[in-house]
Amino acid sequence: MVRTLKSALVAAACCAVATPLLVTLPAAAKLPVPKRAGIGLTQYAAALQGEPEGFAAYVPQTSCDPQWRKGLQRFRDLVLATYPQTKDWGSMRDCTDDGISEHLDGRAWDWNANAKDPAQFKAATDLINWLLADNAYWARRLGIMYIGYNHRIWGAYRASEGWRPLSPSDPHTDHVHFSFSWQGAFGKTSFFDGTAAAQDYGPCRPFRGEPAVLYSRTRANSRPCSNPPGLSRTSGKPGKLLWRGSRGSEVRTVQSALGVSASGYFDSATMHAVASFQRSKNLPVTGAVDTVTRTRMVSEGILKR
């Protein structure tokens, strides 16, 4: 989302303002159709075999790896082609943004559909109603984890509760936020390839309070991450975390040591250079200068204590 989901994920105890419910639009409303030659929605639905995926579990962001993943790109392109009166508000955010957000690991997209604009509101309710009809049939096929819009949030992991209040501090009236499961973000669900995907729990933290490793999904993680261990004494004392979006002289020092343009801004090139350094030293590949990486860089004279 444009701002953090930290407070939005928790339903408010009450709402001071009355908010409009999503309305059910006529069946003739235009619906998104996968870009497959000669196949419309009805034929495409009939071509899918078996039951859709189950409801996506809540798997919060733990890694710092903002990027446009395949599933998000395909969903975005489909939505924008269907509703040209709306806009793309992007996916990626710097990891220095506060709170937990799937924008930071490449699993979230913001769709500019303003609830105060009648045409855009109709487009948003049209798409959302389509996604959530028939026990959230298409949301499950796509691997959507939750949707936030117009003072409300729907979560696949709490689907039986329906729409719940969003925090009044971030009501999402000017855009729809979509967060995806890992399988949905990678485009590995039945919507894209016809095969129902098992739940993927994504990357795990190597140490408590540290970023999770970068996730390439060469093999899906079918088990929830366990509680990570704390750092040992030899791992070093926690220092300032440097990751996507960090700025300053330490970032510039790391960039110079790793052969990256020393801009002082921790960008994608810096993340990949740090990841390469971590691989070469057999460290957890988080792409961030976390505690164990900082300790190693200090021991090699790259950073000061």
Confidence of residue 34 (pLDDT cuts 50, 70, 90): very low
* 99 inside domain: yes
Give the pLDDT score at 167.
85
Reported as a single tens digit per residue, the pLDDT across 187-209 is: 999 988 888 899 999 999 999 99
Considering the domain architecture, whether residues 114 and 239 belong to the same structural domain is answered as no
Taking the CA atoms of residue 92, residue 230, residue 219 and residue 144 in that order, the dihedral angle to the nearest 10 degrees is -40
User: What's 272's domain CATH number?
Assistant: 1.10.101.10
CA distance 211 to 271: 13
Q: Is residue 4 part of a domain?
A: no
Which of 193, 222, 250 is the last residue before a domain boundary? Answer: 193
Span 228-242, average pLDDT? 76
What pLDDT does 84 receive? 85
Q: Is pLDDT above 70 for 33?
A: no
Say if residue 6's pLDDT is above 80. no
Do 181 and 239 share a domain, yes or no?
Answer: no
* 195-201 LR contacts (CB < 8 Å, sep 24+): 196/50, 196/51, 196/52, 196/53, 197/53, 197/143, 198/222, 199/54, 199/56, 199/57, 200/59, 201/57, 201/59, 201/225
DSSP 57-90: P-----S------HHHHHHHHHHHHH-TTSEE--
For the record, the structure tokens of 289 come out as: 């200068």
Query: In this structure, is residue 273 part of a structural domain?
Result: yes
What percentage of the chain exceeds 70 in pLDDT?
Answer: 82
Together in a domain, 46 and 182: yes
pLDDT at 288: 96
**Looking at the predicted structure, is the pLDDT value of residue 11 above 50?**
no
Q: Are residues 141 and 251 in the same domain?
A: no
- pTM for the structure as a whole: 0.83
Residue 160 shares a structural domain with residue 251: no
Same-domain check for residues 145 and 244: no
* Same domain, residue pair 159 and 239: no
pLDDT, the chain, mean: 83
Give the whole-angstrom CA distance, residue 93 versus residue 15. Answer: 29
pLDDT (tens digit per residue) in 149-188: 999 999 999 999 999 998 888 889 999 999 999 999 999 9
For the stretch 132-162, what's the b/e string if a residue is b when 16 or more beta carbons lie within 10 angstroms of its beta carbon?
Answer: beeebbbbbbbbbbbbbbbbbbbbbeebeee
User: Locate tokens 């992007």: which residue?
Assistant: 90
The answer to whether residue 114 sits within a structural domain is yes
181 and 268 part of one domain: no
> In which domain, by residue range, is 142 found?
42-193
pLDDT number for residue 38: 39
Q: Of 143, 174, 193, which residue is a domain's last? A: 193
Round to whole Å and give the CA distance between 305 and 298.
Answer: 6
- Tell me: do 271 and 128 sit in the same domain: no
Q: 122 and 258: one domain?
A: no
Number of domains in the chain: 2
Domain boundary (130, 164, 193) is at: 193
| Structural domain includes residue 26 | no
| Mean pLDDT of the region 133-150 | 93
